[in-house]
Structure 1
Amino acid sequence: MKKEFAVIGLGRFGGSICKRLAEEGMNVLAIDSDEEKVNEFSNIVTQAVIADSTDEKALRGLGIRNFDHVIVAIGDNILASIMTTQILDELGVKHITVKAQNLHHEKVLNRIGADEVVHPERDIGVRIAHNVVSKNVLDYLELSDEYSIVELMAGQKIAGETIIDLDFREKYGCNILAIKRSDDIKVSPQPNEAIENGDILIVVGADADINRLENHWIDDNEG
């Protein structure tokens, strides 16, 4: 069965979520108080409606509690974001994801029932900064304040070495989750898998450990 999603707030963030979910064939209810935005998505999602998400009666009338996942993507109106989240929690929504504007906003959302809080602007900024600082980092995903998943480009220095030879786990506390080679992806590669120049290593570990790994083993292209 297809999951039922509701997205509240059709700005850039909420709109992109709606489009992606629709592309994946999900049933999506798009909600916004702006008629123009609702009309824009009426032919994209399953249903698009004009509604005030701070009105409990309106959300109840939409059957919001029956949706598997509700995403609150309200822009700069922090009060509306908080009120909407609280109502969704009181109505018994199964899973609530909310966009936060800042750390204080996040703390409040966590206290009133948000299951997951995201900072799209901050996360994009961190990812860009990480990529700019290191030319070997192709992509970056923060798992927590201390742990991340990164894609690292393997250079000539480690070409021909096997995973067991490199011993990332023992020396750096990092694990290779997968290796991308051209169009092929090897998940949980075997210890005897040899690294080739240009391979993309998908690595998980503490940020400090990943930095040490990258600087010592991966970055051999200086100068």
Structure 2
Amino acid sequence: MADRLTPVVVIGLGRFGTALALELVRRGAEVLAVDRDPVVVQRMAGQIGQVVAADCTDREALEELGVPDFDRAVVAVGSDQHSSILTTALLDELGVEHIWAKALDRQHERILRRVGAHHVVLPEEEMGARLAHLVSGEVSDYLQVSRDWVLATATPPQDLVGVPLGESGLRRRHRVTVVSVKHAGAEEFTYADASTTLAYGDEVLLAGRTADVDRYVRSR
């Protein structure tokens, strides 16, 4: 039997926090969900095993909930930046080893990192960038792995068709790498290597720095 996922504290049950908590529960993780609004907590009580109403800007409240016993926490507080920053700082003081926090903008992100967040996400900005690439038709999927590294799926350009990847000079010329390929008619991606030869109708998974991948897909 597979090991259970690491327990996680999710603070803030807006749209983002709720979706995250429910997905963690679905995947079999133990979740402690916290929100200061009793109405929200009552609504989620039947869907998340441990959901409580508390003010997480209060250190004593966090200690009473046993938050210092958790290794992972997500600060999913919505538009209240003060609460977001203070909660993140308290989690750091309490020794939580892995802290994720939701930021509203880049300035908020910088502050969250200074006060102890190990990972910061900007859901609206990241989804906006992804959707822009999809709507433009440049790629069929787009995932920003970090601030300057992305994965994207696209059809291969003409100069790659019929040429083994090892002979294409793709990485040297465009500074992107084909990680895997889904050949025309296939249902799944497979690993790509130097001997992989692409055809029209194939789909490739590209990896590289954001600017390089963007430049490459626009040049096809």
Do the structures match in fold with TM over 0.5? yes
Deviation at 1:66, TM superposition (A): 1.5
Residue 189 (structure 2) aligned to one of 185, 189, 207: 185
Distance 1:85 1:208 in 2: 31
Residue 162 (structure 1) aligned to one of 152, 156, 164: 164
- The answer to whether the Cα contact below 8 Å between 2:138 and 2:218 also exists between their aligned partners in 1 is no
Question: SS where residue 45 of structure 1 aligns?
Answer: coil
The 1:179/1:97 distance shift into structure 2, 3 A limit, reads same
Alignment map for 1:111-126 (pairs within 5 Å): 111-126=114-129
Distance 2:202 2:50 in 1: 44
* 147-156 or 37-46, which deviates more: 147-156
Alignment map for 1:30-179 (pairs within 5 Å): 30-133=33-136, 135-154=137-156, 158-179=160-181
Structure 1 residue 211 and structure 2 residue 217: aligned? no
Gaps of 5+ in 2: none
Distance 2:10 2:214 in 1: 37
- The answer to whether the Cα contact below 8 Å between 1:100 and 1:118 also exists between their aligned partners in 2 is yes
Alignment map for 1:20-31 (pairs within 5 Å): 20-31=23-34
Question: SS where residue 199 of structure 2 aligns?
Answer: coil
Gaps of 5+ in 1: none
* CA root-mean-square deviation: 1.8
TM-score of the two chains, using structure 2 as the length reference? 0.89
Distance 2:43 2:145 in 1: 34
Identity of aligned residues (%): 35
* Number of aligned residues: 215
- The answer to whether the Cα contact below 8 Å between 2:143 and 2:152 also exists between their aligned partners in 1 is yes
Question: SS where residue 52 of structure 1 aligns?
Answer: coil
TM-score of the two chains, using structure 1 as the length reference? 0.88
